[in-house]
Amino acid sequence: MRSVRRAWLAAWGLTLLAGCRNAGSPAGPASAPQPSPAPAGAALTIGAIFPLSTGAGRIGEMKRQGADLAIEHLNAAGGISGRPLSIVYVDSKNSTTEALNGLQKLVSVDGVPVVMAAMSQVCLALIAPAERAGVVLYANASHPALVVLYANASHPALTGKSPWVFRNLPDTGLGSSTMAQYAAKTLGLKRVAVLSINDEYGAEAVRVFTAAFGKQGGQVTGTDTFDRTDTDLRAQLTKLAAATPDGWWIPGYGSALGLVLKQKEELKLGGTVLCDLGLVDQNVLKSAGPGAEKAYVVAPAFDPAAPGETVQRFVRDFEARYHETPPFDAPPPSGRPTPSRRPSARRWPPRTTSRASAGRPPSTRTARRR
């Protein structure tokens, strides 16, 4: 059996903050109000709408850690044209209602020209009001309905899309279709049950996987969902297991994902587990326990052990500040979007090494035989 020692980081804060230095204001609708320019030398303030509590709180906290470190680096280097940068955070609670209220506050009270946001359903809800307000929305989410703009260059698929929205995660469909092909061609799976998180992200992951797996001759034996706050998933698992699948596609994130895998293991249900980047979260792995053994994961890659001073400075500073190795949703230090490559599927968990056992996530990309 093969395993791959690697770590995943979603491209994040430094992409935006470097872009603040170099990118001009997007050419938005004629009716969109323009933020008032701050006095020369005054601090620049941007907003961030992250899930800082509830089931997705760990994800939001990782993003805040990365953004705060990026701010520290930028301000130490002189800020943006000599002006320091700061962030006003809003807790979305992974709720579109809370996010919309937060955006209104950031625009009307704090007067921010740029807002970072996370989670697909939240970012989708923010597109129209951000465009109306003439505020740049920087979405750390992967739903395909979100615009993908890198720096000042537009993706070819952006015709007719909002010039006010930027995104720095690959399309959900890339990972889902990659896993479907891997499941059919490499793992030889024929019948897969699907249990997904109940939101926009999960729905898109299911739609793409089902279509791609079907094209490979595979069959989805049944589908069900779980909520972010669920604590007992045995009913869904038992129902899906009745069709005797040889695999399970379980896209999701947060504590509920760990419980799905833990309870599947406790019920002694067979079938190969297939997950996306949510499983790379160390907290999810801990809660899943043996349920995460031999699972396969598809995710964009970033290697904190990669050579190069920029990478190593980021890892060094992150560990010094937070006393942990950067988790999967902290920012890369390059200042550019990193997940341009197609995500790849690999066996999880990685082979244990002295580095991993010391509390660091696996990082080397080389495949090794157990």
Structural domain contains residue 156: yes
Rounded Cα gap, residues 273 and 63, in angstroms: 27
The H or E element that residue 29 is part of is none
Structure-token pair, residue 302: 């970033």
Given 249, 284, 299, which residue is the final one in a domain? 299
Token pair of 297 as six digits: 């994961």
Distance of CA 243 to the CA centre of its chain: 31
Residues 111, 98: Cα–Cα separation, whole Å: 18
In this structure, what CATH number is given to the domain that contains residue 132? 3.40.50.2300
Rounded-to-integer distance, Cα 56 and Cα 122, Å: 12
Residues 54 and 60 sit within 8 Å (Cβ to Cβ):
no
Task: Identify whether residues 155 and 223 lie together within a single domain.
Answer: no
Confidence at residue 26, expressed as pLDDT on a 0 to 100 scale: 46
Q: Does one domain contain both 142 and 40? A: yes
- Among 245, 278, 299, residue at a domain's last position: 299
Is 163 in the same domain as 213?
A: no
| Separation between Cα atoms, residue 357 and residue 352, nearest integer Å | 7
Q: Given this model, what pLDDT does residue 177 score?
A: 92
Residues 159 and 201 in one domain: no
- Note the maximum CA span of the chain: 67
Q: Please give the chain's pLDDT, 370 residues, in tens.
A: 232 222 222 223 333 333 333 333 444 444 444 544 544 568 899 999 999 987 778 888 888 998 999 899 899 999 998 999 999 999 999 899 999 999 999 999 999 999 999 887 888 888 889 989 999 988 876 655 555 443 222 233 333 467 888 877 777 778 899 999 999 999 999 999 999 999 888 888 999 999 999 999 999 999 999 998 899 999 999 999 999 999 999 999 888 999 999 999 999 999 999 998 888 877 888 899 999 988 999 877 667 777 888 878 888 999 999 988 776 554 433 333 233 234 455 554 433 222 222 223 222 222 222 2
The type of residue at 24 is G
pLDDT at 161 (0 to 100)? 64
Same-domain pairing of 233 and 184:
yes
194 shares its domain with 284: yes
CB proximity list for 30: less than 8 A, separation 6 or greater: none
Measure the CA–CA gap between 247 and 324, rounded to whole angstroms. Answer: 33
pLDDT of residue 289: 93
User: Based on the structure, what is the number of domains in the chain?
Assistant: 2
Place of tokens 């597109």: 127
> Quick check: bond before 362 cis, omega within 30?
no
Q: Which of 143, 169, 195 is the last residue of a domain?
A: 169
Cβ distance 23 to 152 under 8 Å?
A: yes
Q: Which structural domain, as residue segments, surrounds residue 155?
A: 12-169
CB 12 within 8 A of CB 66: yes
* Res 301: pLDDT: 64
**246 in the same domain as 147:** no
Same domain flag for 124 and 150: yes
